[in-house]
């Protein structure tokens, strides 16, 4: 069995190093990471010299370091391979969004145990969870990357947990990272989306978790029926759709005005889940849930997988069935497929389509 524990996060490491320091001092340290003018511990002059020297020796300023950075030909998508302090590699993606700002697609684990059959990350298996710092520092990495390119827009307006891993399997570190961003960046909770394959016990736990931030939630549905979904998402739990429908209603009842934050993601795979009957079954399922939005995703091709993408005309027909039934439906734009940075393609492969920039 691989060791899947995340490394100790900086906050806990600092508490161990300086047990008698007050909480505000630890907050000062955390704030410093996100202060753009500070490039290392030596710049954090609000801390005493002795403390800085200990920090320089004991805690790396960044929890991960870039190994390779690639940019798509269009220049609207960038991907970095990062190494954790144990040298294990993971990826993070930066995409230009329609507001002409940037969205980061963050990873929450190295590899993934969920094994979704269309996804490259799933073929890696789970190597380990990322620490809250390794998740939060993906934002810091991309901030630094943009600051070195002043001709590009500088604002990171959104973060989506759609990189490597299933975030709800690493929920405590995901929560910590989100709180760090909410505390120290201009990201608001509705600009952060946690995308999950639907780990029902954790979703159910969120309903009563006072520490769960009011972020958007996207559920990767991919099929309106259990048996066919299991062929795409093998970890589909028994009675998945029934429990998920009930969960959306409980979410609406308990968390009230957050209900519009639930989206069903639906990757369209030719001949598997994209015909009109499937769309009609999806309408029936959506009607059993609280108000949700459906986002259809054209399949991104992965080497070695037999699946093919639905045609755009097929996608339009599928969307039309939903729209005619009054369901709010959008289609995700594919970005970064030339550098294996699109959804479902992250598996530490470096495609030759883009250009290496670092
Ligand atoms: S789609 Fe997401 S949950 Fe499924 S294997 Fe890939 S990374 Fe894991």
Mean pLDDT calculated for residue range 191-219? 96
Model confidence at 353: pLDDT above 70: no
Domain boundary among 61, 79, 106: 61
Which tens digits make up the pLDDT trace of 288-343?
A: 998 789 999 988 887 777 788 889 999 999 999 999 999 999 998 887 777 777 77
Catalytic entry in 105, 116, 119, 343: 343
Please, what is the angle between helix 312-324 and helix 276-287, to 10°? 30
2 part of a folded domain: no
Active site residue 116: no
Task: Return the best residue to mutate from 106, 166, 202 for the ligand 1 pocket (most ligand atoms within 8 A of CB).
Answer: 166
86: domain CATH number is: 3.20.20.70
Asked whether residue 123 falls in the same domain as residue 232, the answer is yes
Condensed to tens digits (0 to 9), the pLDDT of residues 234-269 reads: 999 999 999 999 999 999 888 876 656 799 999 999
For residues 117 and 249, membership in a common domain is answered with: yes
Are 44 and 120 within one domain?
no
Average pLDDT of the residues of the chain = 90
Question: Do residues 67 and 47 share a domain?
Answer: no
The answer on 98 and 39 residing in a single domain is no
Distance of alpha carbon 53 from alpha carbon 60, whole angstroms: 12
In this structure, the answer to whether residues 29 and 91 fall within a common structural domain is no
Average pLDDT, integer, range 346-350: 67
180 lies in some domain: yes
Answer yes or no: do 152 and 221 share one domain. yes
Quick one: pLDDT band at residue 2, thresholds 50, 70, 90? Answer: low
Q: Is 91 a catalytic residue?
A: yes
Range of the domain at 18: 8-61
Residues 221 and 249 in one domain: yes
Strands 102-105 and 89-96: antiparallel
Distance 250 CA to ligand 1 centre (A): 25
Catalytic choice (14, 91, 119, 265): 91
Q: Which of 20, 43, 61 is the last residue of a domain?
A: 61
| The last residue of a domain, from among 61, 81, 99 | 61
3, part of any domain: no
Atom 4 (ligand 1) nearest CA: 116
- What residue's CA is closest to ligand 1, atom 3? 166
Residues 12 and 107 in one domain: no
Kindly tell me if the per-residue pLDDT of 285 is higher than 70. Answer: yes
Q: Are residues 215 and 109 in the same domain?
A: yes
200-204 mean pLDDT = 97
Total domains in the chain come to 2
Q: What is the pTM of this model?
A: 0.93
Confirm whether 114 is domain-assigned: yes
Is 1 part of any domain? no
CA of 100 to the centre of ligand 1 (A): 28
Q: What CA–CA distance (Å, rounded) separates 11 from 26?
A: 7
Mutation probe of ligand 1 site: the residue of 111, 118, 119 with most atoms within 8 A of C-beta: 119
My answer on whether 45 and 68 are in the same domain is no
Q: Looking at the structure, tell me whether residues 70 and 55 fall in a common domain.
A: no
- d(CA 223, ligand 1 centre) in Å: 15
């Amino acid at each position: 069995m691989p060791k899947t524990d995340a490394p100790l996060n900086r906050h806990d490491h600092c508490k161990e190093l300086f047990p008698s320091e007050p909480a505000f001092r630890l907050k000062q340290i955390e704030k410093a990471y996100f202060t753009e003018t500070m490039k290392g511990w030596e710049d954090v002059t609000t801390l005493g010299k002795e403390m800085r020297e200990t920090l320089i020796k004991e805690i790396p300023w960044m929890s991960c370091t870039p190994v390779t950075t690639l940019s798509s030909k269009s220049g609207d998508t960038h991907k970095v391979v990062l190494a954790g302090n144990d040298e294990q590699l993971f990826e993070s993606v930066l995409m230009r969004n329609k507001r002409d700002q940037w969205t980061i697609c963050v990873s929450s684990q190295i590899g993934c145990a969920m094994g979704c059959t269309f996804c490259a990350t799933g073929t890696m298996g789970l190597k380990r969870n990322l620490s809250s710092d390794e998740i939060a520092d993906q934002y810091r990495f991309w901030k630094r990357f943009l600051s070195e390119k002043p001709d590009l827009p500088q604002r990171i307006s959104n973060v989506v947990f759609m990189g490597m891993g299933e975030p709800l399997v690493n929920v405590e570190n995901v929560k910590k990272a989100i709180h760090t961003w909410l505390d120290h960046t201009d990201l608001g909770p509705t600009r952060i989306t946690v995308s999950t394959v639907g780990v029902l016990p954790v979703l159910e736990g969120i309903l009563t978790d006072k520490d769960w931030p009011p972020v958007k939630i996207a559920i990767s549905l991919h099929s309106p029926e259990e048996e066919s979904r299991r062929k795409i998402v093998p970890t589909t739990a028994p009675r998945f759709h029934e429990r998920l429908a009930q969960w959306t209603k409980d979410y609406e009842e308990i968390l009230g005005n957050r209900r519009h934050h639930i989206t069903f993601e639906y990757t369209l795979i030719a001949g598997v889940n994209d015909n009109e009957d499937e769309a009609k079954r999806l309408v029936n399922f959506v009607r059993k849930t609280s108000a949700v939005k459906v986002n259809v995703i054209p399949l991104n091709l992965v080497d070695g997988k037999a699946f093919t993408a639905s045609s755009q005309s097929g996608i339009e027909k599928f969307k039309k069935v939903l729209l005619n039934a009054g369901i709010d439906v959008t289609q995700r734009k594919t970005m970064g497929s030339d550098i294996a940075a699109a959804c479902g393609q992250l598996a530490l492969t470096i495609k030759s389509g883009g250009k290496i920039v670092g």
